[in-house]
Amino acid sequence: MKITLSTAGLSRTPFLVIGSGIAGLYTALKLADIAPVTLITKETLEESNTSYAQGGIAAALSPDDSPDLHYTDTIQAGAGLCLPPAVTALVNEGPERVRELIAWGVPFDTEAGTLVMTREAAHSFSRVLHADGDATGREIIKVLVQRVRTHPRITVKENHYAVALLTGEDGCYGALVLDENATQTSFLAEATVLATGGCGQIFTATTNPAVATGDGLALAFLAGAPLADLEFVQFHPTVLHLDGAPCFLITEAVRGEGGLLRNKKGVRFMPSYHKQAELAPRDVVARSVWLEMAKTGADHVYLDLSLLSADLIERRFPNIYETCLSYGLDITKAPIPVAPAAHYMMGGVAIDLYGRTALPWLFACGEVANAGVHGANRLASNSLLDGLVFGHRIFEYLQRNRRRQPALPPELAAVVPTETNPEHLAADRLALKALASAHLGIIRREEDLQNAKRRLAPATPPAPIPLNRLNRPYLELQNMRLLVRLMLEAALTRRESRGSHYRVDYPVPDPAWQKRIVLSSTGTNWAAADQPFTWSW
């Protein structure tokens, strides 16, 4: 549904940031050095994927490490689809961004005044910084939130849900929003930054919080900005699988410290799947766990911590230890039952090396964006770094290229998806999550993907939806439906297996598919894997 809004009397802000994970908070803080910022978030500032990040943030800060080595590890994990210039920016600028967090007061763990770093899967060095053992994201968010809340040039709007981007002939002008009272309002801006995170909630089992419904991806697509690499969803291989417990992440760092994966018979199985065993790339470990479960007829495997002392477990992984203990499991004495769950979207809004999208004056960074850093499989603990590096690049661009108080057209357009009947909201959401889990999971096949595509063909509600029925739960479902359809299209298009995208009917990588799939309102296109996106604005 396309609607138009009059611009008469609407308030304006230089910069509008949508989202409050590490990418949104950090970018807002940087942009506030230039001009006032309005930051909107659908719940509280504290609620985001970042808050649940355990493992840490990767950066080549050790004297024995280097950006070149970090670059090599990232490229190898990305299975041929990482964009070299984007990875170069990530690994070379990342250390300075992490030093900035340290200067701001993020309490990364130290011993005798030296940063403690751990090793995670597919890293050749111990370069992952962590805070409070396994609560890195939470500790980063605490510091960033405090700085945002007290910054005199940042206005925070919590419980504000972005309904649609506002567009005109000169690009993006801000967003149509539901405020804390579910009343429609608008925010006009010189530049708008999407930092809305991922979309794990389209799956039944996910490590993502309830806010991760892919809204930013849908907003951008409907406003005319292409999306790239949507077939690549990372499933974390070790998520707590215990009756009565939620999907709780068991960080890869547990395996980095010596945790071993065993099947229900107690047999260690990863050495038979990959030479790096438990420290193989995430897509390999997740797929191996899935296959081992299928072989043994089990719905989980075990993460054995018996090589770790009880003291190390409690000190290094206090959050995991206490959470498991609250469900009756003492991980210093018993293995952890785990299974894979949806964790991270490698694809996203296609951006150039400065966070620009194809829609003028719309930027994106963090998990919602795709600069080509992660390729077909994200290297562990590169996600937080990604948000920082490309958030800073957006700041650098706008420092030099502000669109100061652009002339407003009389009206702006907004596209709002309204496909399903609001009366069937709960049932439709459960059905969608089951569909995505069954057909867009770790193992994919043509027949299943085509079946899902038919079942999810665009629907038209029996009657126009009144604007007052456009509440957050309804709009989230519309965004999720759109995103699943786009992911199905990408998964059907890529007729090979690469990274996190595994098709049993095309089980090996094909050099002809070493390219990126780009989806837009005009159709499906391709982009070279080694060339950045470029826009004319």
* CA-only gyration radius of the chain, Å: 22
- Give start and end residues of each alpha helix (H) in 257-381: 282-296, 310-316, 318-326
Helices (H) and strands (E) in the chain, counts: 13, 23
Compute, in degrees rounded to 10, the torsion defined by CA atoms 90, 92, 97, 98. Answer: 100
* Nearest residue to 83 via CA among 502, 491, 380, 514: 514
Task: Tell me if residue 516 is catalytic.
Answer: no
Rounded distance between C-alpha atoms, residue 496 and residue 494, angstroms: 6
The bridge status of strand 515-520 relative to strand 523-528 is: antiparallel
Structure tokens, 396: 């650098």
* Nearest residue to 529 via CA among 511, 517, 518, 516: 516
Cα 335 to Cα 112, 199, 254, 266, 404: the distances in Å are: 32, 30, 12, 10, 58
Return the amino acid letter for 244. Answer: G
Rounded distance between C-alpha atoms, residue 82 and residue 11, angstroms: 40
Q: How many residues does the chain have?
A: 537
Rounded distance between C-alpha atoms, residue 510 and residue 131, angstroms: 40
Rounded distance between C-alpha atoms, residue 351 and residue 164, angstroms: 19
Rounded distance between C-alpha atoms, residue 67 and residue 513, angstroms: 28
How big is the CA angle at 126 (ends 125 and 131), to the nearest 5 degrees?
155
Residue 268, exposed/middle/buried by CB under 10 A (0-12, 13-18, 19+)?
A: middle
Residues 6+ apart with CB under 8 A from 492: 446, 449, 450, 453
- Give start and end residues of each alpha helix (H) in 358-497: 383-400, 425-439, 446-455, 472-493
Instruction: Find the catalytic residue in 127, 255, 282, 316.
Output: 282
Q: Do 14 and 35 form a contact (C-beta atoms < 8 A)? A: yes
Structure tokens, 249: 């992440």
Residue 329, exposed/middle/buried by CB under 10 A (0-12, 13-18, 19+)?
A: middle
- The label of the residue with tokens 């709009």 reads 475
Q: Which residues are catalytic?
A: 282
